Amino acid sequence: MRPADRLFRIIQLMRATGRAMTAAEIAGRMEVAPRTIYRDMQHLIASGAPIEGERGVGYLLREAFDAPPLTFTFEQLEALAFGLRAVEMLGDPRLGQAAREAKDKMLALLPPEHAARLVGAPIHAFRAASQPEPPDCLGDVRTALSTRRKVWIAYNSLAGERSLRTVWPLGLSAFGALWVVTSWCETRNDFRDFRLDRVEDWKVLAERFEPDENQTYAVYLAGLQAR
């Protein structure tokens, strides 16, 4: 890890914990020797970081300190670059456009060296020739999910059974090129997963939904983990 990246991560770690930390504890998180942390702390304090403490006692970052916005390590920039490229490949056109716009905003605010890293990160995502395009309904389902609107769907199951449902979109998952919406199904009065490529027709309704405490996406995920 580059020293500059480690210094940034130390600040982020201390902000996250909000308490005094020993050099040994920080070293364990950073996977370096304590003596390296002692040198890093001397450098940070000399650079004006509001850190209190000393060797053998511990270090505390004052609450008033705030790191500059859009300061990323190079590894974090590679993760962002891959994520944005994957969204462009797997998402619907509106989501892909949003990813490109987000990248442009970050490039305008990042230091030149970091901007170049974001653009030139050697990690890519590609759509295979056999990979289907995103389902046509994906954009509308995303909108319904964020605005909590019910969706009417004509669904064709893998068993060939066609049904008409009114669902409450609670969460979206991508399994490669396969998109699945987890919903509360009014017909079954229970959670159901629907593959978006099996949705033959759909309509976002004006009616909104408000899940109770037993109808949330968190409850659905907890149920999966309990199986």
Cβ atoms within 10 Å of 99's Cβ, excluding its own: 18
Report the alpha-carbon distance of residue 147 to residue 153 in Å, rounded. Answer: 17
Amino acid letter for position 165? R
HSE (side-chain half, CA atoms, 13 Å) at 188: 14
The pLDDT of residue 65 is: 56
Query: How high is the pLDDT of residue 188?
Result: 95
> What is residue 90's predicted lDDT score, i.e. its pLDDT?
85
Give tens-digit pLDDT for 11-66.
888 888 888 999 999 999 998 999 999 999 988 888 778 888 888 789 998 765 55
Let me know: does 196 contact 167? Beta carbons within 8 Å. no
Q: Using one digit for the tens of pLDDT, what is the confidence trace for 127-178?
A: 777 778 889 999 999 999 999 999 999 999 999 999 999 999 999 999 888 9
Share above pLDDT 90 across residues of the chain, in percent, rounded to a whole number: 49
Tell me how crowded residue 106 is: count the other CB atoms within 10 A of its CB: 18
**More confident: 7 or 34:** 34
**179 near 172, Cβ under 8 Å?**
yes
**Whole-number Å distance between alpha carbons of 203 and 155:** 12
CA dist., res. 196 & res. 15, Å (int)? 41
Query: In the chain, which residue ranges form alpha helices assigned H by DSSP?
Result: 3-17, 23-30, 34-46, 74-90, 93-109, 112-120, 138-147, 217-226
The residues near 125 (Cβ < 8 Å, ≥ 6 apart) are 82, 85, 86, 88, 89, 90
Residue 153 half-sphere exposure toward CB, CA atoms < 13 A: 33
Cβ neighbours of residue 111 closer than 8 Å, sequence gap 6 or more: none
Q: Torsion-angle region of residue 22: left (phi > 0), alpha (psi -120 to 50) or beta?
A: beta
In whole angstroms, what is the distance from residue 41 CA to residue 46 CA? Answer: 8
**pLDDT(87) > 60:** yes
